Amino acid sequence: MFHIYCPHCAEHREEEEFHPKGQAHIARPMDPEACSDEEWGDYLFFRDNPRGIHHELWVHAVGCRKFFNITRNTVSYEILETYKVGEQPTITAESLSQDKKMTADGVTVADGGLQTEGESDSAVNTSKEAKV
């Protein structure tokens, strides 16, 4: 069960309060009538399915009922940030590949997709390496 920070309620809440609504930042074409069938089909049916960083739209369904975005690692299930509709993510697959070590939030992402916060440089730290 995910633990999700709702940017409107300003605290972490349990996943059971939320519904996922698919890929984020899918804008409806401004003039649908001007779209070709193919363009309209792309808008309706085609979505990304990345291994790694994914931006998703969620709704705090049992809560404030507001929609917002989650940047999530689809391998480790780590949530890297949440942000309101209309805002842009500060963490993206590109920003992480440019600066693999650290982001503003102190989140590290490993090649394997597991990520950690703060303490260790490598993604997953082996318990024996963590010296007292």
Partner 1 sequence: MSNAQQFDTRPVVDNESEIAVESPLAFSRHRSGAPKAKADTRVTVRERAFLGHLVLRGGAIVLDEALREVVGLGLPGEPLGLVQDEGGKRSIQWISPDEWLLIVPGGEEFDIERRLREALGDAHFSISNVGGGQTVLELSGEAAREVLMKSVSYDVHPSHFPVGKGVTTVFAKSTVVLRRPSEERWELVIRRSFADYLYRWILDAGAEYTIGVEG
Partner 2 sequence: MTRHTQQPNRLARGGRVDRSRTLNFTFNGKRYQGHAGDTLASALLANGVDIVNRSFKYSRPRGIVAAGAEEPNALVQLGSTEAAQVPNVRATQQALFDGLTAQSTNGWPNVQRDVMSLVGKLGGRFMPPGFYYKTFMAPASLWMTYEKYIRKGAGLGRSPMERDPDSYDHLHQHCDLLVIGAGPAGLAAALTAAHGGARVILCDEQEEMGGSLLDSRELLDHQPASQWAGRVVEELAGLDNVTLLPRTTANGYHDHHFVTLHERRTEHLGETAPRVDGYRPARSRMHRVRAGQVLLTTGALERPLVYAGNDVPGNLVAGAVSTYIRRYGVVPGNQLVLSTSNDHAYRAALDWIDAGREVVAIVDARRNPDGELVEQARARGIRVITGSAVLEAQGSSRVSGARVATIDAKAFKVTGQAEILACDTIASSGGYSPVIHLASHTGARPAWDDEILGFVPSLVAGVYAAGSARGIHDLAEGLADGSAAAARALAALGRSAGAIELPQVAARREGAASALYQVPHEKPTLRAPKQFVDLQNDVTAAGIELATREGFESIEHVKRYTAMGFGTDQGKLGNINGMAIAARCLGKSIPEVGTTVFRPNYTPVTFGAIAGRHCRELFEPERYTAMHQWHVEHGAEFEEVGQWKRPWYFPQKRRAENGEQRMETMDEAVARECLAVREAVGILDASTLGKIDIQGPDAREFLGRVYTNKWAKLAPGRVRYGLMCKDDGMVMDDGTTSCLAENHFLMTTSTGGAAAVLEWLEIWHQTEWPELDVYFTSVTDHWATMTVTGPEARKLLAEITDIDLDRESFKFMDWREGQVAGVPARVFRISFTGELAYEINVQANYAMHVWKTLFAHGEKYDLTPYGTETMHVLRAEKGFIIAGQDTDGSVTPEDLGMHWAIGYDKPNSWIGKRALTRSDTKRSDRKQMVGLKPKDPKVVLEEGAQIVLDPSHAIPMPMVGHVTSSYYSPTLESGFALAVVKGGHQKMGDTVYLPMVDGQVHEAEIVSPIFLDPKGERQNV
Given the complex with partner 2, which of 64 and 93 has the nearer CB atom?
64
- Report if residue 65 touches partner 1, rule: CB under 8 A: yes
Shortest distance, CB of residue 105 to partner 1, whole angstroms?
21
Question: What track of x and - describes contact with partner 1 for positions 1 through 40 (by CB under 8 A)?
Answer: -------xxxx-xx-xx-----------------------
Distance CA 60, CA 66 (A): 6
Compare residues 19 and 100 and give the one whose CB is closer to partner 1.
19
Is 101 near partner 2 (CB under 8 A)? Answer: no
Place of tokens 């998703």: 56
Residue 125 binds which entry of partner 2, partner 1, none, with Cβ cut-offs from 5 to 8 Å by kind?
partner 2
Location of structure tokens 């590290």: 108
**Residue that the structure tokens 């963490």 belong to:** 91
Give residues in contact with partner 2 (CB under 8 A). Answer: 1-3, 14-15, 19, 21, 28, 31-33, 35, 37, 40-41, 43-45, 57, 59, 61, 65-67, 76-77, 79, 85-86, 114-120, 124-128, 130, 132
